[in-house]
Structure 1
Amino acid sequence: MQRPPQEDFDGGKVTGDMLTRTYDLVEQVQYLYVRVVKAKDLPGKDLDPYVEVRLGNYSGTTRHFVKKMNPEWNQVFAFSMDRTQVISVLEVNMKDKDDSVGRVMFDLNEIPKRVPPDSPLTPQWYRLEDGSGSKVKGELMLAVWMGTQADEAFPESWHSDAATVSGADALVNIRSKVYLSPKLWFPEVYVKAILGNQELITKVSRSKTINPIWNEDLIFVAAEPFEEPLILSVEDRVAPNKDVIVGKCLIHLQYIDRRLDHRPMNSKWYNLEKHVIVEGEREEIKFASRIHMSLYLEGGYHVLDEPIDYSGDLRPTAKQLQKSSIGVLELGILNARRLLPMKTKDGRASTDAYCVAKYGHKWVQTRTIIDSLSPKWNEQYTWEVFDPCTVITIGVFDNCHLHGGDKPGGQARDSRIGKVRIHLSALETDRVYSHSYPLLVFQSTGVKKIGEIHLAVRFTFSSLMNMMHLFSQPLLPKMHYIHPLIVEGSWNDKQTKMYNLRHQASQMVSMSLSRAEPPLRKEIVEYMLDVKSDMWSMRKIRANFLRIMDVLGGLIAIRKWFDQICNWKNPITTLVIHVLYRPRQPPFIDTRLSCADDAHPDELDEEFDTFPTSRRIDIVRIRYDRLKSIAGSMQNVAGDIANQLERLDSLLSWRDPTATKLFVISCLIAVIVLYFMGFRVVILVTGFYVLRHPWFHHNLPSAPLNFFTRLPARIDSML
């Protein structure tokens, strides 16, 4: 893991000293590091050189070169000293095919120790020797030192844990790795556009002239660096399923303007070109027309690539709008216990486990522990924290890409072992939480416990005042409230568009991380981002209903009391209620309440259909898909209601200690104000505030609403 430079605390900001703490959350493991840089003056001209590093029964080899006199490798090997305590000699062999060219021997007692963040050791030239100790022709540049897993060379090195794994691709697949999600932007355009695999089309222009008008907003998700251009085209629908391209325009996103607030951007004319085939062979580009657009990248929004209820980052995209960090999150991935075998290898059950942790835009992956049901990683990672109302996600997976690489056809997929979510606002500052969490995975056969993972977590904030101030701020950037991205359409249409944007964002993150080395594969990213969380599930809607019923226990008790009144369990109370209750007017049929005045013909046909259905299978399939879409929205509404009720309940259960303390202090202040000012004065002031002129209104949520939104719910504990 790359360690940042040490700095001092200044002005309540998170500095390098907090990020460069020692490996104190995990067990220190001693490693012998060998960096093989290059060789020179080797004998012969037809050598196929490579280097073998051997420590006892463990050995690793560099890349093989063909007929190269001065090869350069620059590879690092790490040997765990826990498994080689009785060995006293390190042997580095220079080989040609299977023949030995020479070797260099090291006494382990004379190898220097290096403690980060010391400067790295400078490689030195060593003369090769034969088996008898005599000098031979050729020199090898090496650096040898003792260190721990905190060493900066640890993530890129070959490990003795992988001694049984063959193949360069397999070795890459088990290394530790730190990943960074690409920074995502919202480019907003008017008219039809194609960006990568995203395609949006405006409605057919109502202006049936040679100057069509659309006046529509098309929103895409783009990832830095902006490699794919935006392709705009205007098409003329001359017949059903037949469109003629009037003109095209290709725009590179890195050259367009960026918007940081809600102020209007200048629009401009773009030339449309048309490709014409001349003389049957030669293609000629001609000017076709021009299109008027306002095209820009939105930097004031946060592009959600995961559900907002357990997101790890809520900052706007533009760096100019991002505030300084308020603390540091440290995670120690210690070990796992009682893992179930995930696959069969060489006729026996085994598991090759590794962990992936995601917080904000930074992803980390531990090394893979080969063939162990109780793997020990002892790796520590650090993140900057910008908002305490965020969640870190840790997933455990079985590596299925070892021993020869992927299966034919690319069908090999890393198996899910389980994941854990930890809400930062529930952690006390500067306290180390060391717990074992169950690893649960939900399959078609039901929920299954596959083992436990032992984690150590510490959250430290630099300024208590900054921390408390955040609870009065909106959860999302201000642009989401001042100028919402999606304004037009019904509530269901807005939810569908937001889901599509989040889906595109998660797909871009998945594609970006899959191109890293070693790759963070698509199935891993989608599982960590919970891509299919909005899909309809009877289990989820039932779980949300039970969450609501659990919080509404008091109201249920009131309902039972009301039933007792209706059943005359207490006659005196029932008579009093009869005196107070008088119906004012008789009930009547309300067509608007019944949604009968604007019912769609297809909805009426579905309602008056027979049971079982008598309609064609294609119509039933369309209606079923529509039902799943509507049910998914109902599921989200039920989950949102459960979230609000659980946030109220969290104030009494002290799930968020900081928020509860602020609430108690606010209640105490309110009691004092009511006592000295009087109830009438408070009501008068409140009335003037509520009825204030629109000039004094603003679109941002109030401080109490922001405080309530930041309270924790139990949705991050759901599968």
Structure 2
Amino acid sequence: MHQINSHAPPSNQDDYKLKDTNPQLGERWPHGGVRGGGGWISDRATSTYDLVEQMQYLYVRVVKARDLPTNPITGSCDPYAEVKLGNYKGKTQHFEKKTYPEWNQAFAFSKEKIQSSILEVFVRDREMVTRDDYVGKVVFDMNEVPTRVPPDSPLAPQWYRLEERRGESKVKGEIMLAVWMGTQADEAFPEAWHSDAATVHGEGVFSVRSKVYVSPKLWYLRVNVIEAQDVESHDKSQPPQVFVKAHVGNQILKTKTCPIRTTNPFWNEDLIFVAAEPFEEQLVLTVENKVSPSKDELVGRIGLPLNIFERRLDHRPVQYPRWFNLEKFGFGVLEGDRRNEIKFSTRVHLRVCLEGAYHVLDESTMYISDQRPTARQLWKQPIGILEVGILSAQGLQPMKTKDGRGATDAYCVAKYGQKWVRTRTIVESFSPKWNEQYTWEVYDPCTVITLGVFDNSHLGGNAGNGTGRDSRIGKVRIRLSTLETDRIYTHSYPLLVLQPSGVKKMGELQLAFRFTCLSLTNMIYLYGQPLLPKMHYLHPFTVNQLDSLRYQAMTIVAVRLGRAEPPLRKEVVEFMLDVDSHMWSMRRSKANFFRIVSLFSSMISMSKWLGEVRHWKNPITSILVHVLFCILICYPELILPTIFVYMFIIGIWNFRFRPRHPPHMDTKLSRAAAVHPDELDEEFDTFPTSKPQDIVRMRYDRLRSVAGRIQTVAGDIATQGERFHALLSWRDPRATSLYIVFCLCAAVVLYVTPFKIVTLVAGLYALRHPRFRSKMPSVPSNFFRRLPARADSML
């Protein structure tokens, strides 16, 4: 990526902070409508476009034409329509030798940039050599254009007679048009040609439009390889020592080699893959004989379509394994030759099923945006609605050179759950205004929405940046559980990117969002439920399996979204899903270490306070502590209720200091504000390393691999501690409310219950027989895992 300006980070740390904004959003009025920039919007639009600034557009829909005159020289007509408003010109596609063309294309002109009172629609006959011939035109007075307000039905197009150049007489032919004034809430907005992108032509036009994408439905493919029978090697004198290799697309896994040489090997191993629906790959199994440490011979193979396997929706296992006959390697070379038919073929015993692959796999576990199972039968009713208004960006940096000067063609991508959205591309603007609003159903509040800003390098011509990749500008993450319900948040988020020269602010992204609760009871009930369905806990995966499955899921999602039109490219998907979050980085390791250290600061403060009490720095405090200590010694049954009352009081006291803003990227927490250049060089080094010495490369790669595990463990420890801190910090208002209410109830119950009985019940419960234990996590554990951590603010 070619950068125009310096990478030096700004010295003012306030540039990295969240800023309040006051955008002119749609206003609610007593009659239930929303007053935007050009009229009243009814109740239906109230819930869809009241979080963005209303923008007025002139829409022109060119439907079709009829009875067009032919060229007297060629005897045919290759028509296209041209819509002209001032200096802006939009063209439809052209048809060859057609006097009754059908275009059905829409054009949108921003009202802010309209500099003409006349709208002209031309019909021209395309000529490949000479200048295009003029067929006719239709002229509209801008003062006479009607205004359409959704959800009104679309304006009906009309037939208009074509006029001469000077409008003195009519010519042969008619064109069907619809012209109206509307807003970005209009149905024609996403597919329309925009005057903001008037310089984009050819295939680049498709990449500037706003689109909604849906992630593919992911499944685990669990292949339990049990045994095989009648395995024969090419060397008849020695029994084979075989293993099974399984392929699904580009995923390859294999079992361990059977420890003994036998024609009936036994493995009973599970191989786990990720597959996307609709299934395009097959499960290909090969049985191979280990002839020598460096040589394997193919014994047999079989290809099985994935749609023949059972889809397991709950934790109950597949009941019946099946035998599959393998194709003998080398058999069937001569078609129709039955003389060499194998009488006893090799068979393999399998138990194969498809399990719901939860969308946590296509992301880092710290930034879960969807916790629903794949099967829709297991979905519950949504508990809320998330509405996000992507307003604008300010102060974007030049991302490429265009005509000898810096330029940025910015668009924004938002991802939550299975739904991805992409705004339109604003061409050549460092302060783009999108004002697009999107809505998601929320099934769990303890999830994160991710928004990223990118530079479009696929606009055609010289608009690219030379790399063929859309450059990343910055990213924002917002955890829903930290938001108050039914409150509109309007903030400007800094777009921060870590580069080899350090952290850099690439601009600011202005957002407006609102989390609406549909059922408070269901939301509170969710805090005590497992994050994932029962199958995830009864048949858990190993850490290595999860890392591999997450990478494969990310690859599948990137490939499928890259096949859309316009494609959501691989580099965009990888940046949104934090594909490199598990790679070793000295900076991240330090950040996680200091997160742990900061958790012990409260314990250090408590020890200092106790030291002050012991040394009578404050005599009144020391006397009160001594009195309280004597009371608790004389009445030990008051210890637990006093602790709960104390936490209840702290929670109420901290309500005044609760966070007023949602979390954002924190450069100090991420240790990105003052990172050593050598550490950045290590973080941006390739994997495997690009260092020249072979020994150094081997040791360095091993160190990074091991340190990556340590980094993850350190982050997990910090996350658990931060969740304890979040109990009373009001970061998640609902969770803190539930906890302090529980503390109050527990205090009351423990006050009226004898302490000996409480101790007896608690001891018996902790020592209960395993028969009375459940493999499912407890309600306190589920509640604790849903608490927010500061991982959301990590850069």
TM-score of the alignment, normalized to the shorter chain, above 0.5? yes
Alignment of 1:44-443 (within 5 A): 44=70, 45-84=75-114, 86-97=116-127, 98-133=132-167, 134-165=169-200, 167-191=201-225, 192-265=245-318, 266-274=320-328, 276=330, 288-299=345-356, 301-404=358-461, 411-443=467-499
Q: What's the CA shift for 1:171? A: 1.4
Who is 1:612 aligned against? none
C-alpha change, 1:437 and 1:425, in structure 2 (3 Å) is: same
Who is 1:542 aligned against? 590
- The answer to whether the Cα contact below 8 Å between 1:333 and 1:454 also exists between their aligned partners in 2 is yes
Q: What's the CA shift for 1:19? A: 9.3
Write the letter of the residue equivalent to 2:327.
E
- The answer to whether the Cα contact below 8 Å between 2:393 and 2:508 also exists between their aligned partners in 1 is yes
TM-score normalized with structure 2 length: 0.77
C-alpha change, 1:158 and 1:670, in structure 2 (3 Å) is: same
Deviations 1:366-397 (A, max 9, x none): 11111111111111111000000001111111
Q: Partners of 1:138 and 1:532 in 2: how far apart?
A: 60
Q: Secondary structure at the match of 1:681?
A: helix
Q: Partners of 1:683 and 1:118 in 2: how far apart?
A: 68
Q: What's the CA shift for 1:627? A: 2.3
- The answer to whether the Cα contact below 8 Å between 2:218 and 2:357 also exists between their aligned partners in 1 is no
Deviations 1:12-63 (A, max 9, x none): xxxxx99971411111111122222333333235322221111121111112
- The answer to whether the Cα contact below 8 Å between 1:190 and 1:214 also exists between their aligned partners in 2 is no
Write the letter of the residue equivalent to 2:53.
E
Q: Secondary structure at the match of 1:220?
A: strand
Q: Partners of 1:401 and 1:672 in 2: how far apart?
A: 65
Who is 1:572 aligned against? none
Q: Partners of 1:696 and 1:107 in 2: how far apart?
A: 81
In percent, how many aligned pairs have the same letter? 62
Q: What's the CA shift for 1:564? A: 12
Who is 1:475 aligned against? 531
Who is 2:622 aligned against? none
Q: What's the CA shift for 1:277? A: 7.1
Alignment of 1:444-523 (within 5 A): 444-484=500-540, 486=541, 494-523=542-571
Deviations 1:254-291 (A, max 9, x none): 23210011212121122322463777899999774322
Q: Partners of 2:48 and 2:123 in 1: how far apart?
A: 35
Who is 1:695 aligned against? 771
Write the letter of the residue equivalent to 1:259.
R
1:28 to 2:54 alignment: yes
- The answer to whether the Cα contact below 8 Å between 1:301 and 1:480 also exists between their aligned partners in 2 is no
Deviations 1:233-264 (A, max 9, x none): 21223344333222221122123210011212
Q: Partners of 1:405 and 1:269 in 2: how far apart?
A: 59
Deviations 1:57-76 (A, max 9, x none): 11111123333343332222
Write the letter of the residue equivalent to 1:153.
A
Q: What's the CA shift for 1:695? A: 2.8
Q: Secondary structure at the match of 1:653?
A: coil
Who is 1:655 aligned against? 731
Q: Partners of 1:527 and 1:81 in 2: how far apart?
A: 35
Write the letter of the residue equivalent to 1:716.
D
Q: Partners of 1:185 and 1:338 in 2: how far apart?
A: 42
Q: Secondary structure at the match of 2:427?
A: coil
- The answer to whether the Cα contact below 8 Å between 1:170 and 1:402 also exists between their aligned partners in 2 is yes
Q: Partners of 2:356 and 2:735 in 1: how far apart?
A: 30
Deviations 1:291-310 (A, max 9, x none): 21111110275551111221
Unaligned runs of 5+ in 2: 1-42, 226-244, 614-691
Q: What's the CA shift for 1:90? A: 3.8
C-alpha change, 1:57 and 1:668, in structure 2 (3 Å) is: same
Q: What's the CA shift for 1:626? A: 2.6
Q: What's the CA shift for 1:561? A: 9.0
Deviations 1:204-261 (A, max 9, x none): 1234222222211111111111112222221223344333222221122123210011
C-alpha change, 1:350 and 1:407, in structure 2 (3 Å) is: closer
Q: Partners of 2:349 and 2:175 in 1: how far apart?
A: 65
Write the letter of the residue equivalent to 1:517.
E
Q: Secondary structure at the match of 1:217?
A: strand
Who is 1:7 aligned against? none
Q: Partners of 1:676 and 1:704 in 2: how far apart?
A: 23
Q: Secondary structure at the match of 1:102?
A: strand
Q: Secondary structure at the match of 2:174?
A: strand
Write the letter of the residue equivalent to 2:784.
F
Q: Partners of 2:790 and 2:62 in 1: how far apart?
A: 51
Q: 2:579 aligns with which of 531, 534, 539?
A: 531
Deviations 1:409-429 (A, max 9, x none): x83211111111111111111
C-alpha change, 1:20 and 1:322, in structure 2 (3 Å) is: farther
TM-score normalized with structure 1 length: 0.85
- The answer to whether the Cα contact below 8 Å between 1:30 and 1:148 also exists between their aligned partners in 2 is yes
Q: Partners of 2:163 and 2:292 in 1: how far apart?
A: 82
- The answer to whether the Cα contact below 8 Å between 1:261 and 1:300 also exists between their aligned partners in 2 is no
Write the letter of the residue equivalent to 1:231.
V
Who is 2:717 aligned against? 641
Write the letter of the residue equivalent to 1:477.
P
Write the letter of the residue equivalent to 2:312.
R
- The answer to whether the Cα contact below 8 Å between 1:259 and 1:300 also exists between their aligned partners in 2 is no
Write the letter of the residue equivalent to 1:522.
K
Q: What's the CA shift for 1:618? A: 4.9
Deviates more, 1:175-184 or 1:237-246: 237-246
State the aligned residue count: 647
Q: Partners of 2:357 and 2:566 in 1: how far apart?
A: 33
Q: What's the CA shift for 1:516? A: 0.9
C-alpha change, 1:561 and 1:667, in structure 2 (3 Å) is: closer
Write the letter of the residue equivalent to 2:482.
A
Deviates more, 1:430-439 or 1:470-479: 470-479
Alignment of 1:509-658 (within 5 A): 509-557=557-605, 618=694, 621-658=697-734
Who is 2:747 aligned against? 671
Q: Partners of 1:282 and 1:149 in 2: how far apart?
A: 66
C-alpha change, 1:407 and 1:374, in structure 2 (3 Å) is: closer
Q: 1:712 aligns with which of 788, 791, 794?
A: 788
